[in-house]
Amino acid sequence: MPASPTMFTAEEIADARAIIHEAMPPTPQYAWPLLQAELGIETWVKHENHTPTGAFKVRGGLVHMRKRVERGETNGVITATRGNHGQSIPYAASRNGVKATIVVPQGNSVEKNAAIKALGAELIETGQDFDEARVTCMQIAQDRGLDMVPSFHRELVLGVSSYAHELFEAAGELDAVYVPIGMGSGCCGVISARDHLGLKTKVIAVVSENANCYRLSVEAGRPVETNSANTFADGLAVRVPHPDALDIISKGVDGFVEVSDDQVAEAIRLYYRTTHNGAEGAGAAPLAGLIAQRDAMHGKRVGVILCGGNIDTAKMATVLEGRTPAP
């Protein structure tokens, strides 16, 4: 990747947004009165749960697949995922006449798996977690002669950065934005948009206390892998940081906050009670992070990224019963 993978030109940003808006309109961002009343903070929710795949990842998939075709790279593609990236790639691939194969770990979300297959992709289940599935995915790509689509790539960041541009255009310069980190494209996209627009907004990265490799890596000044990523917030469940994402995050993030699964479950309940939106674990993590730091954010204007709403029915039922789903 280039040395500065999130430094995009105005022309690149406009082109990416045009590609995305062929498939979907801008998603809304609302300052919900009930949510503000509960938190005592002006809170803008960026609703990436309102995309065609129910999550922000589709933006990067649309841009990357279009650029692949423009370069003449029309071979079949394969990628590893826990779900949302795995929906974005076949959605975008089908729009560009390319076949997609998706590799997920065993025990992956049943409903995300069903959504992947409904988009016409071949689904392969292997490995105990995302990082094991990713290793197998690379081998399958070699064996079958498929093009490997990484979970982090400059064009993916370019695409997903569009939601941050939409948020800042609608809400203005916010004091802080809370964004979750899985592999890191969403967080890097927010950093990119903030820096491109010359804003002073603080970017606060939210990780699971059970999947905190990015926080540990930034603090250590080098990549740090964890032995497990045991959280029901599957979009956060990454053990191995991507080096390019780590470089951008270490330079551009203003702080980290770790959240527990119990805190994430409470944030899902708060979203449902105050906005009647369903949020998956990673989608609710930014709100959980804001709740944990609400005293520091009192009197400020804050954004939270509801990055996806693809939570399995059984897990949502457990959450609404007042409990926390098992990982």
Q: What is the pLDDT of residue 130?
A: 84
* Global pTM exceeds 0.85: yes
Query: Does the fold of domain 57-148 match that of domain 10-56+154-320?
Result: yes
Into which CATH architecture does domain 57-148 fall?
3-Layer(aba) Sandwich (3.40)
Span 62-71, pLDDT tens digits: 999 999 999 9
Computed over every residue of the chain, the mean pLDDT equals 95
Topology (CATH) of 10-56+154-320? Rossmann fold (3.40.50)
Q: What is the pLDDT of residue 1?
A: 36
- The domain segmentation of the chain, as residue ranges, is 10-56+154-320, 57-148
Q: What is the pLDDT of residue 6?
A: 60
For the segment 12-32, the average pLDDT, to the nearest whole number, is 98
Span 2-21, pLDDT tens digits: 335 568 999 999 999 999 99
Q: What is the pLDDT of residue 242?
A: 94
Query: Does the pLDDT at position 83 exceed 90?
Result: no
Exposed e or buried b for every residue in 24-57, given b needs 16+ CB within 10 A? eebbebbbbeebeeebebbbbbbbbbbbebbbbb
Q: What is the pLDDT of residue 2?
A: 38
Q: What is the pLDDT of residue 3?
A: 39
